[in-house]
Structure 1
């Protein structure tokens, strides 16, 4: 996935792709944040308490962010020139013009003022991808008759996984309302379970 330009190499007839859904992501926000970091490492400090490399959708951006993190955390400068060695050492980055992509990111960046906002967009979209992954896994396990877990046990696991994901929704810029997602999802699961004649949990009162 080293080529992160627009996708002119796709078939000219795009209608075949119209019905396909892609996972939530924002390449432009990722590029804007990385560019801001490359021209002023202070941008990294505005997002470092909540944003991790794995929150980036594009693997190339994950590598660049992690490389910046390692240098900045060591008190070293992380700019396009300092990171140029990445494109010699990593075969996955070799086709990106030997580091010219870093220079383009830096040139396109205008300010670090919006760095935290870009970081929160990237973080929020990563959590949404996490919700999708949890949902797909839950559905697949529910369809798999070979899974030894009962429906109640599967629901409990989904609840715990959603709770863990909700915990990741807390950022410096404010708590993302993943507990609302948790509550509504659990309500939906329990409603579906009641239709089968079973109720999970113990009623109080």
Structure 2
């Protein structure tokens, strides 16, 4: 039985396009049972959550109350909180939304409605299909209204409708392909192409030999304070945005926008960082600045977000905004993980950091985009070769990461570099292949650069 409070909101879920068309209002394509089964599966199974969020974003539900429940589940999962009807009910109550869904008993109805959580992805596909059908009906209604209009020419109507239908086609993702037979042809195509077509190269060819950056993955870069991880991040972002021409989002809680821009300028123009900091450029520096000016002025796809107190929710909102503007990031860089502000503070710091790490992994999955997160080491890692267990405040960082890269500069007993200008990039974890590789890198901190050792040291 569906709560009356839930049933009453069906009308509110009808898009404005349909509200003048009462005969169609009750017949809009939807499947309430499938929506209930999706949510029920998500409540009882973590695996179902992972499968569902790969298909649905929340807005596809016909009933606004179901979207409300979906977003509460999504947020709890992103925080690493185990979900059950009691926990979910408290979360909705804290948001002032529990009465909107018809009360806590409705959550138990959702759980009882699902025959098996293993089919959560299948129910999600049904919900997605009904949503696309409603969009199609909407475009049909719009075309009919333009056809009757005295102010819209036939050519204008056809052009507008063609654009809308094209948007509908491009905005409707393929149905999930889960079986081996579904995936096999695409896999063979990739083998014949010799490379993953979605893969992003890095500025370091020797790293590309062992690690493929593609799709939803969390890459964690660890180092001690001053160990070069921010240099690595900015060089990586500049390569993807300025050389590959793909959108990049840098979320920095460590530095402000001007400081990031100064480091980026030093790296791109090869102007010593100390002269940029002191605003004491020489004549040759101005010439170098002029050479990169056009590149920097047109770097609209290189987004620097230095919002204070950045949370996962705000980061997600920034990414959604970029997608809405047609500039969805191909790479997301976070500097650094431990400085993110928890959406729900905890008295146990390890739990907070674990929730942040898991949240970044969820964001990578949600947007099908690689996320590179910088992370600090514990103080005990200073002066020795780092280990996976050295991440500050939580072992979940290593567990959630697909790839872990560690930066290490060998120093003597007087804390002086044993090999000046060189740092080791250690592939400490690599779910795609071999780990344990140590790649020597050339470091020019005065130019804010980390390069492959064989790279031209110009």
Q: TM-score range by the shorter chain?
A: 0.5 to 0.7
The residue number in structure 1 matching 2:55 is: 50
CA, structure 1 residues 71+157, in 2 after alignment: closer, same or farther (shift >3 Å)?
same
The residue number in structure 2 matching 1:173 is: 177
Cα distance per residue 1:155-178 (max 9 Å; x no partner): 122112112111214232389xxx
Larger Rg: 2
Cα distance per residue 1:164-199 (max 9 Å; x no partner): 111214232389xxxxxxxxxxxxxxxxxxxxxxxx
Shift of 1:88: 6.0
**Higher-strand-fraction structure:** 2
Shift of 1:96: 5.2
Contact 1:120 1:173 in 2 (8 A): no
Find out whether 1:114 has 2:119 as its counterpart.
yes
Find out whether 1:139 has 2:175 as its counterpart.
no
Contact 1:29 1:121 in 2 (8 A): yes
Find out whether 1:23 has 2:32 as its counterpart.
no
Shift of 1:77: 2.4
Find out whether 1:38 has 2:54 as its counterpart.
no
Aligned match for 1:2, one of 2, 5, 8: 5
In structure 2, C-alpha distance between the alignment counterparts of 1:145 and 1:79, rounded to whole Å: 56
Contact 1:2 1:60 in 2 (8 A): no
Contact 1:71 1:78 in 2 (8 A): yes
Cα distance per residue 1:62-102 (max 9 Å; x no partner): 111111112212322232112213146445x5165531111
- State the number of aligned residues: 161
**Higher-helix-fraction structure:** 1
Residue 159 of structure 2 aligns to a residue whose secondary structure is helix
Contact 2:52 2:120 in 1 (8 A): yes
Shift of 1:107: 3.2
Contact 2:59 2:67 in 1 (8 A): yes
In structure 1, C-alpha distance between the alignment counterparts of 2:135 and 2:110, rounded to whole Å: 27
In structure 1, C-alpha distance between the alignment counterparts of 2:68 and 2:24, rounded to whole Å: 31
Q: Which sections of structure 2, spanning at least 5 residues, go unmatched?
A: 9-22, 183-458
Find out whether 1:66 has 2:71 as its counterpart.
yes
Find out whether 1:160 has 2:163 as its counterpart.
yes
Shift of 1:40: 0.8
In structure 2, C-alpha distance between the alignment counterparts of 1:121 and 1:130, rounded to whole Å: 14
CA, structure 1 residues 19+135, in 2 after alignment: closer, same or farther (shift >3 Å)?
closer
Contact 1:88 1:94 in 2 (8 A): no
In structure 1, C-alpha distance between the alignment counterparts of 2:100 and 2:61, rounded to whole Å: 20
Contact 2:62 2:131 in 1 (8 A): yes
The residue number in structure 1 matching 2:393 is: none
Q: Which sections of structure 1, spanning at least 5 residues, go unmatched?
A: 6-17, 176-205
In structure 1, C-alpha distance between the alignment counterparts of 2:32 and 2:24, rounded to whole Å: 21
CA, structure 1 residues 20+144, in 2 after alignment: closer, same or farther (shift >3 Å)?
closer
Q: Which runs of 4+ in 1 moved over 6 A?
A: none
What is the aligned-residue RMSD (CA, Å)? 2.8
In structure 2, C-alpha distance between the alignment counterparts of 1:164 and 1:154, rounded to whole Å: 15
Contact 1:88 1:98 in 2 (8 A): no
- TM-score relative to the length of structure 2: 0.32
- Structure with more contact order per residue of length (Cα contacts < 8 Å, sep ≥ 6): 1
The residue number in structure 1 matching 2:84 is: 79
